[in-house]
Structure 1
Amino acid sequence: MIYQYSGVVHVHTSYSDGSADFKGIAKAAYKSGAKFILINDHDTLDGLHQQGEQYLHEVLVLVGAEVSPRQNHFLCYDISSVPCKKQQPAKYVEQVYEQGGFGFLAHPDQKENTIFRGSMHWDNWDLDMPVGLEIWNYFSQWMTSFESIRGLLISFLFPKAILSPPQPETLQKWDLLGELRPVPAIAGVDAHGGRQFGWIPNILSSYRYQFKTLRTHILSKEPLQGIVQNDRKIILSAIKSGRSYLVNHFAGHVKEFFFYLQHLNDKWHMGEEVMHRSGMTLNVILPEKAHLKLIKDGKVFLQSCTKAIQLPDPEPGVYRVEVYKGCIWRRPWIFSNHIYVRPDPDSGYSS
């Protein structure tokens, strides 16, 4: 049996530039239906040291950090200290992995906003560590969704409409990296709360509102038990390995989504690598009928308005799924992590 849990990733608190403490943020997460939140305050673990990781309002609060130079921001987890941001990116990323942690390139292709200026994209992807990617970032999309005061007003009036799919260049890089190694992906909210951005109407900038945007849903073979250390291990292991999928909750809530590879009684889920063998089937089951795209090696392999597909004998490749709510008016809804079907060197197959 596979358990699925919805959480909010990339949250800032009053320990850096957020507007609420752990309790206030956990309460907002509970009201939005999240089971866990991942804190990423800028260049500090003060929240971890002063409050620790804990269940609050039935939500598990886990604490990482965001290394935050002018650009090349890095979300990191399972660390005991935050590397200094006044180093080359490769160095602070390396220091995260040296202490047993892991991380994700934050908003790696963020564009510059013509009104507020400044860009926080990644300009160095040549890293030796097995980093993941934050392929979807709500606040980054909101900040770059307008190029004029008129556009800013439209974003205020129709905030749900500005949430577009992950940027094509990010998806392209992600797919290419996936041909070399597993590359886990997350969706980040980049939530700061209301009071820090007084020029944004509070209803649009509150934690509760922002937690209803992008979610990262993890997969686990074990249920969460309400025990911090046990559940922490389950959640971080799933995030680290890409056993997860990403959801735009503006388009619709998701209780269950299935994307897996099967051979006889064996199943492989998102984030997993498997050697190609004959007789496999690739399966996708959606919460409801929607526009489904199966992506193989960065290209659309098939697409259909359906609730489920089954692909017999898939060839080696890097597979993922994109789902758009509706079959006519399509809104980005679900983006899966990859399943990696690697060639069997003894089969003579050449990709």
Structure 2
Amino acid sequence: MLYNYSGVLHIHTKYSDGSADFRRIAKAAHKSGARFIVINDHDTLQGLYQEGEQYLNGILVLVGSEVTPERNHFLCYDINSVPDNKLQPREYVQEVYRQGGFGFLAHPDQKSNPLFPAKMHWENWDLDMPYGIEVWNYFSQWMSSFKTKRGLLKSFLFPKLCLAPPQPQTLWRWDQLGKTRIVPAIAGVDAHGGRQFGWIPNILSSYLYQFKTLRTHVVCQNPLRGDLAADRSNILCALKKGCCYLVNHLADQVEHFSFYLQDAEQCWQMGDEVTHKPGLVLRVKLPVKAHIKIIKDGKIFTQSKAKSLRLPNPQPGVYRVEVYKGRFWPRPWIFSNHIYLREAVK
């Protein structure tokens, strides 16, 4: 039996440029329906030292960091200290893995905005390390959704309209990297909180609103039982492996989504590498009917409007799923991690 847990990643607190402590943020997460959150304050683990990883309001609170030079930001997890952001990208990524941690390129293809000209994209993807990618970032998309003051006002008042699919170039690079190694992916909110503006649904309104946008759902072999050490290991192992899928909760919530590969005896999940052999079947299962696309090696392999999809005898390749929901205006809903079907070695 597998267990699905919905989490919010890439959150900033009062220990960098956010507006609340762990307890207030966990309270917002509880109201949003999340099961866990991961803090990524800029260049610090102060929140870990001051408040610690713990359960608050029934929410598992985990702490990482975000290495933030001018550009080439890197989300890192399971570390003891934050690498110096004055190092070269290869050096601080290497330092994260040297500590036994892991990480993700943050908002790697964020577009610059003439009203906020800071450039925070990732410049150098040629790193000889098993890094992952934050392929979907809510705040990054919001920042890229306007170029004029009038557009800023529209985005400020109606942020739901800003949430598009992940950047095509990010998805393409992710698919190409997957041809040679496992490349885990996450969705980040990049939440900073802010003043409470009551009913106005804008990016600055509250952590609660932002937590209802993008989620990363992990798929675990064991349930969360309230044991901090065991549950922490459960969540981090799933994120590190890419045994997770990304959900736009503004399109719809989802309790269970399945994308797996099986034969008569065994079943493999997202993040698994499998050697090709006869008799394999790829399966997709949704809670409701929607537009399913199976992507192979960066290109649409097959698609259908259905509640489930079955692909018998898939050939070697890197497979993932995109799901869109809505009749007249299909909205991006679910993006899976890859299943890596490798050619048999002769």
Aligned length: 344
Give the stretch that moved more between structures: 88-97 or 149-158: 149-158
Q: Which amino acid aligns with 1:262?
A: Q
User: Which stretch shifts more, 324-333 or 298-307?
Assistant: 324-333
Q: Hey, what does 1:300 align to over in structure 2?
A: 300
2:159–2:202 CA contact under 8 A, matched in 1:
no
C-alpha RMSD of matched pairs (Å):
1.4
Which AA in structure 1 matches 2:150?
A: R
Matches within 5 A, 1:18-167: 18-167=18-167
Deviation, 1:156, is: 2.4
Tell me the SS of whatever aligns to 1:115.
coil
Q: Deviations over 1:84-119 (max 9, x none)?
A: 000100000000000100000000000001111111
Q: Distance in 1 between matches of 2:69 and 2:115?
A: 21
Tell me, in whole angstroms, the C-alpha distance in 2 between the residues paired with 1:201 and 1:319: 36
Give, in angstroms, the shift of residue 265 of structure 1. 2.4
Q: Deviations over 1:175-201 (max 9, x none)?
A: 00000100000000000001499xx97
Match of residue 284 from structure 1: 284
Contact 1:17 1:196 in 2 (8 A): no
Is the contact made by 2:158 and 2:201 (CA closer than 8 Å) also made in structure 1?
no
- Aligned counterparts of 1:116 and 1:344: Cα–Cα separation in 2: 50
**Which segments of 5 or more consecutive residues in structure 2 lack a partner in the other structure?**
none
Query: What secondary structure, in the 3-state scheme, does the structure 1 residue paired with 2:10 have?
Result: strand
Partner residue in 2 for 1:349 = none
Q: Secondary structure at the match of 2:117?
A: coil
The amino acid that maps onto 2:329 is W
Cα distance, 1:204 vs structure 2: 4.7
Distance 2:143 2:288 in 1: 31
2:316–2:342: 8 Å Cα contact kept in structure 1?
A: yes
Does the alignment pair 1:331 with 2:331? yes
Deviation digits for residues 289-335 of structure 1 (CA, Å, limit 9, x no counterpart): 11111000000001111111100000000000000012442000000
* CA distance 1:118–1:204, change in 2 (3 Å): closer
Contact 2:157 2:202 in 1 (8 A): no
Q: Is the 8 A contact 1:280 1:314 kept in 2?
A: yes
- Deviation, 1:203, is 7.4
CA distance in 2, matches of 1:97, 1:195: 37
Q: SS of the residue aligned with 1:191?
A: coil
* Distance of 2:319 and 2:201 partners within structure 1: 40
Q: CA deviation at 1:202?
A: 6.6
For residues 40-66 of structure 1, give each alpha carbon's deviation from its aligned partner in whole angstroms, at most 9, with x where no partner exists. Answer: 000000111121100000000000000
Q: 1:180 to 1:196 in 2, by over 3 A?
A: farther
Deviation at 1:205, TM superposition (A): 3.0
1:225 aligns with 2:221: no
| Aligned residues with identical type, % of pairs | 67
- Within 2, Cα distance between the matches of 1:158 and 1:287? 28
Give the SS at the match of 2:30: helix
In the alignment, residue 108 of structure 2 is paired with which amino acid? Answer: P
TM-score (norm 1): 0.96
User: Which secondary structure state, in structure 1, belongs to the residue aligned with residue 18 of structure 2?
Assistant: coil
The one-letter code matched in structure 1 to 2:280 is M
Pair 1:271 & 2:271 matched = yes
Alpha carbons 2:291, 2:304 under 8 Å: kept: yes
Offset, 1:286: 1.0
Structure 2: distance between partners of 1:138 and 1:100? 28
Instruction: For 2:284 and 2:221, locate their aligned partners in 1 and report how far apart those are by CA, in whole Å.
Output: 18
Answer whether contact 2:196 2:206 (CA < 8 A) is retained.
no
> Which residue of structure 1 lines up, in the alignment, with residue 209 of structure 2?
209
Deviation of 1:263 after TM superposition, in Å, equals: 0.6
Structure 1 distance, partners of 2:35, 2:3, is 12
Find runs of 4+ consecutive structure 1 residues off by over 6 angstroms.
200-203
Structure 1 residues 201 and 249, CA gap change in structure 2 (3 angstroms): closer
The secondary structure found in structure 1 opposite 2:19 is coil
- Give the Cα separation in 1 of the matches to 2:128 and 2:204: 39
Q: Which residue of 1 aligns with 2:180?
A: 180
Distance 1:326 1:196, change over 3 A: closer
CA distance in 2, matches of 1:193, 1:153: 18
Please, what TM-score do these two structures have when normalized by structure 2?
0.97
Q: Which runs of 5+ in 1 are unaligned?
A: 347-351
